[in-house]
Amino acid sequence: MSAWARYLYSATLYTLSPLIGWRVWREQVPTYSRLQRLGFERESRLEGPLIWLHCASVGEVRAATPLIGALLNAYPQHFLLVTTMTATGAQQVQALTHLSPNLHHRFLPLDFPGSAKRFVRYWQPALAIMFETELWPNLLHACAAEHIPVAVVNGRLSARAFARYQRFPRLMAQTLGNVTWLAAKSAVDAERFKTLGMPAERTQVVGSLKFEVTPPDKVWEESERLRQRVFEPAGERPIWVAGSTRDGEETHVLAAHRALRNTFPEALLILVPRHPQRFDEVARICEQASFSVARRSKQQPVTADTAVYLGDTLGELGMFYAAGDVAFVGGSLVPLGGHNVVEPASLGRFTLCGPSLENFDDVAAPLIKAGALKPVADAEALGSALIDALHNLAATAQKGAQGQRVVAAERGALERTLEGLEKLISQAPKNK
C-alpha cells in the first residue's frame, strides 16, 4: 500500500509544529530534557532487553498500573520504559518507581518521522505496547521497520474517536497494518478497529484493564489518618469527593454543594481538579463562589467553617475517595467522555457521574446495573442525589460494597493480556 497518506500526515505535523512546540513547552518537567521530544537522548542506553509501554497521560498511567506491576514481575530481566505525553503522566510514573529499579520514564517523542526513527532505533525495545488509543503513524511505522512487534492493549475507540479516525481511512489502515496484536476491551471496540483496517486475525477481545485496579493497603491507612488529623478535629461531618474535575465543571459541582449544604450545613466537599495547572484557578473559583477553602498543598487546617478542601496534590486521589462517603467522577458534567469510575467503586464508594460517559461506557454499564454508579443530568440532579445518599448512609455504603463486588467479578483482562504479550515477547529477536 502506498505510504502517501503517512507522508501527508507528516507534512501536516510540520505545518503545525509551532503550535505543537508551544504545547510541548508547557507539558514539561524540569528534570527532563526537551530534546526527548525530538527523539534525542543524553544518557547511554540501558544495557539489556527492554519493553516499551506508552500511556498518554495520568489517567492512562493509573489504568495501566496493574499491567506495569505485572510486567515488572513477569520479566525481571527486562527494563520497562514507560512514556507519556504530559507532565502529569510523567509524575504519575515517577510515583511508581518504587515498584522496581527497572522502571524508567521518558517523554514520548513527537510523531515526526525523524524523531520517531531516532527514538525506536535508540531504545530497540523487544516489544512496543500502546495503551488504549495511542496510534501514532510514524512511531508504529518505525517499529515495523525495525521488526519490533507492536501490541495495542486495552484497545478502545469511543464513538467520537471512531468518527474522527474514519475521516482518514488510508492513514488508519496503514497505521493499523503495523499492529501485531490488538487486545480490545470489548467486541464493539474490536469491530470499530476492524472497520478502520485492523486485521481480525490479529485481534482478541480480552476485557477492560480498568477493572484490574487493586487499591494499595496504604490508601485505607492514609485516608483514616486524613479524617482523624485533618477533618475530624473540626467535628464529624458528611464528606463527598469530586475527583478529576475539568474546566467549566467546578461551577456545577459547587452549585450542587451549595444545594447539599442547605440540607446538610456541615457537609464538606473534597475537590480534586484533574490538571495541576488549574489548581490556583479552581481555588479562586471556590472563593469567588463564597466558599471557605483549605488547600491540601499548603497544609491549611480544616475548621468548622471550611466548606471545600482542595486536593491540589498529585497521586492522592485514591486516598481522597476512600476518605469520603460519596464520590463524584468528573469530566462527565461537561462533554469530555468522563474519567475512571472504577477507581472509587473499587474502594467501596457509591459513585455519581454526569451524563458524558463515552470513554467509560463499557465499565460503567455493570456498575450502573448494580446500582453502584448513578449518572445525573446536571448540577441540580447532582445536588439531589447527594442529599439522598447522605440521608441514608447505610444504604449508600451497601451500594458502594456492591460496586466492589462488581469490580472483582469483572477482572480477568490482565491475565489474558499478559498471555498475549508473552507470545510476542517470546518471538522477539534475542538481541532486543
Of 41, 43, 60, 201, which one is the catalytic site residue? Answer: 60
- CA 175 from chain center: how many Å? 23
What is the residue-wise DSSP string for 299-334? TPPP-TT--EEE--SSS-HHHHHHHSSEEEESSTTT
Q: Are 349 and 326 in contact (CB under 8 A)?
A: yes
CATH homologous superfamily of 217-409 equals: Glycogen Phosphorylase B; (3.40.50.2000)
Whether residue 421 has pLDDT greater than 80: yes
Per-residue burial over 390-425, b = 16 or more CB atoms within 10 Å of its CB, e = otherwise:
beeeeebbebbebbbebbeebbebbeebbebbeebb
Q: Which residue is associated with the grid cell 513527537?
A: 110
Q: Which amino acid is at 370?
A: A
Q: Which residue is associated with the grid cell 480498568?
A: 210
Whether residue 36 has pLDDT greater than 90: no
Of 374, 328, 331, nearest to 356 by C-alpha is 331
pTM of the model: 0.84
Give pLDDT tens digits for 143-168. Answer: 999 999 999 999 999 888 999 999 99
Give pLDDT tens digits for 236-294. Answer: 899 999 999 999 999 999 999 999 999 999 999 999 999 999 999 999 999 999 999 99
Report the interhelical angle of 361-369 vs 393-409 (nearest 10°). Answer: 130
What are the residue ranges spanned by the domains of the chain? 4-207+413-427, 217-409
Q: Is 153 exposed, middle or buried (0-12, 13-18, 19+ CB in 10 A)?
A: buried
Neighbouring CB atoms inside 10 A of 129's CB total 27
CATH code linked to domain 4-207+413-427: 3.40.50.11720
- Give the pLDDT band (50/70/90) at residue 1: very low
Rounded to whole angstroms, what are the CA distances from 90 to 97, 108, 169, 328, 422?
11, 10, 32, 25, 26
60 classed as catalytic: yes
DSSP state, residue 371: T
User: What is the C-alpha radius of gyration for the chain, rounded to an integer number of angstroms?
Assistant: 22
Distance (Å, whole) CA 123 – CA 289: 50
